[in-house]
Structure 1
């Protein structure tokens, strides 16, 4: 990253406004007249918010900082408001995307740094994480990344940065990169179809013959398997390709990704599954999944400490793949774009059966979405209160509900519980 522009030094004579403020202050010490508050101006650091006395000397945006350190830390953002000594290029937009933890919006950046070539949202997420590792953790500047790209050595630069680390410290994102270098190295050809590679990896893991590894043959072979075995087979293909289930998929619930608070917190669970494929056979993994004993398998393979760091994972996997609480289907409905909420028991348990219009459905989904977005959201408590018929009382105590929507939500959140035991 280009070094930030120089500050106006502390010793520089104040501008006319500062001179006026200084003389006003001096007069006030000997004059009982009140100060004119409009003439006193306090500036605040753009980076940390503390009072600031240094003005960026290279731009007209009147940007203030309290220290050189704050200016340097804010340069990734400030360069777009400043007057840099060089043209802004796609590496600056890449650094901005990394700092904001989002995909780049700039079309040239997406083209230069592989986001247009990554074939799925999952691959784009991993690619962004790879660049986050470079810029945030390995402290590689955007200028160096820019130089690598211009010189045609971007892939080599990434490998040189990560391969000086011990193997265990390189991370899953680097493993994905080694298998998908074509995304950044245009001299390498794009795979014919990404699903082919995923299925072949799962086929090899399940013990299939390499000589009979065409996609049509594999799909024909697994067509006779039980549903749960086909499901875990396709999941293994995704995990072995450094992916994970989409919220639209059944596996997102049955394999516990619904227990994670957000997309980022799904990554440790994906790492657990990646590790378990190294420590057990496909048949062991399938059997554990089919008999609701994945937690026992994790424990037996030395992964207990890791899985215990994921709240509610044990609750989900204890019932998978056949008997999950409906609250996990509720979370899937509000996370995935096109998941339908009108399927029992979800629709009955959480009030969607009471909806009279699409507006009712969207209102109910939005309130549940706000609930699951809370940092301390407790899905198990939500399920328990639903079984007691007290959803509105519980959710209404945690989520701010507009006065005009209270009666509607009270009606929508009714359910037939608690059931009469007699």
Structure 2
């Protein structure tokens, strides 16, 4: 949690998000992060161990109040007054207000998306092809300044899995924000179906955004994986070997872990792919349990090197 405060990024670790209220906070996640940043600013000697103890002892809310009340009111910032009105975010004994329930948040997210699209098509949504529904929910998230979590297919298919960390994941999200400013939803879905979304984003990124790595656009494009499109990509990087969604998610997470490794090199990974040695490259940079090694060795197999 303290690391997220220092980096000014919302925590992405599922357990951290659950432990420190970010799952309950929903659309107030940024305010909650600001509260914790204020806490660490006032109590500069706060350690992760102490913060963890407060939470485990059930006194986190009490301690946050004590720290802020010890500071001059005019210097407490705006997040503490917000917290006093929304203590349910961290106090699990309080119910989540009806207007902040997941269903209500989803409805508001959909409303923003339909307004952007031009008309409400809620009654038609369920009859849309699965891919179009995925695109809509992704579009709706972006319109609400959010993006898919790792447990959603679009986290993989939308290219978020290539992000080295939370900062670069937000960069991918920003690319979509810019993209949706220049194209309609139907144009986005058409590009998604034809597997050219990566090209559109790459052009947008080249003109407006800082690319996280020299060939980030190439890696991003490769992550638009669809069973009926770009079959070579599925085969090259092992997704073709996945028998279940859980295996595909596990493989995607290992790739993300290697993207975050200090000595990661996209070109070296591609070379390892062409030599049929992806697993050998990844295992040197990512820790795995015995069971994970066995699974990844199977999933990362590909037909390379090709025999002449």
Same fold by TM (over 0.5)?
yes
- Alignment check: 8 A CA contact 2:24 2:89 kept: yes
The equivalences for 1:251-400 within 5 A come to 251-298=154-201, 304-306=207-209, 308-309=211-212, 312-319=215-222, 320=224, 322-323=229-230, 325-326=233-234, 339-341=246-248, 371-379=258-266, 381-391=268-278, 394-395=281-282
- What is the aligned partner in structure 2 of residue 195 from structure 1? 106
- What is the aligned partner in structure 2 of residue 243 from structure 1? 146
Q: CA deviation at 1:266?
A: 0.5
Mean Cα deviation higher: 257-266 or 310-319: 310-319
- What is the aligned partner in structure 1 of residue 25 from structure 2? 118
Secondary structure of the corresponding residue to residue 246 of structure 2: coil
In structure 2, do the counterparts of structure 1 residues 370 and 95 end up closer, same or farther at CA, with 3 Å as the change threshold? Answer: closer
Secondary structure of the corresponding residue to residue 99 of structure 2: coil
Greater relative contact order (CA < 8 Å, ≥ 6 in sequence): 2
Gapped runs of 5+ residues in structure 1? 1-93, 161-176, 210-216, 351-364
- Alignment check: 8 A CA contact 1:254 1:317 kept: no
Distance 1:248 1:199 in 2: 20
Task: Tell which structure's C-alpha radius of gyration is larger.
Answer: 1
Distance 1:410 1:238 in 2: 31
Q: CA deviation at 1:275?
A: 3.3
Gapped runs of 5+ residues in structure 2? 44-63
- Alignment check: 8 A CA contact 2:276 2:302 kept: yes
- Please list the CA deviations of residues 132-171 of structure 1 after superposition, one character each: whole Å capped at 9, or x if unmatched: 67678xx77888983499x9xx9x92499xxxxxxxxxxx
Distance 1:125 1:275 in 2: 22
- Please list the CA deviations of residues 350-371 of structure 1 after superposition, one character each: whole Å capped at 9, or x if unmatched: 9xxxxxxxxxxxxxx97x7764
In structure 2, do the counterparts of structure 1 residues 191 and 323 end up closer, same or farther at CA, with 3 Å as the change threshold? Answer: same
Q: CA deviation at 1:233?
A: 1.0
The equivalences for 1:1-12 within 5 A come to none
- What is the aligned partner in structure 2 of residue 157 from structure 1? 78
Distance 2:307 2:147 in 1: 41
**Partner of residue 132 from structure 2, selected from 213, 225, 229:** 229
In structure 2, do the counterparts of structure 1 residues 133 and 380 end up closer, same or farther at CA, with 3 Å as the change threshold? Answer: farther
In structure 2, do the counterparts of structure 1 residues 131 and 388 end up closer, same or farther at CA, with 3 Å as the change threshold? Answer: same
Secondary structure of the corresponding residue to residue 209 of structure 2: helix
Distance 1:313 1:238 in 2: 23
TM, length-normalised to structure 2: 0.58
In structure 2, do the counterparts of structure 1 residues 268 and 96 end up closer, same or farther at CA, with 3 Å as the change threshold? Answer: closer
The equivalences for 1:54-203 within 5 A come to 98-99=5-6, 110=20, 115=22, 117-119=24-26, 126-131=30-35, 146-147=68-69, 157-158=78-79, 190-192=99-101, 193=103, 194-203=105-114
Q: CA deviation at 1:281?
A: 2.5
In structure 2, do the counterparts of structure 1 residues 228 and 388 end up closer, same or farther at CA, with 3 Å as the change threshold? Answer: same
Q: CA deviation at 1:234?
A: 0.8
- Alignment check: 8 A CA contact 2:35 2:79 kept: no
What CA RMSD, in Å, does the superposition of the two structures yield over aligned residues?
Answer: 5.5
The equivalences for 1:18-29 within 5 A come to none
Q: CA deviation at 1:249?
A: 2.0
Q: CA deviation at 1:271?
A: 2.2
- What is the aligned partner in structure 2 of residue 53 from structure 1? none
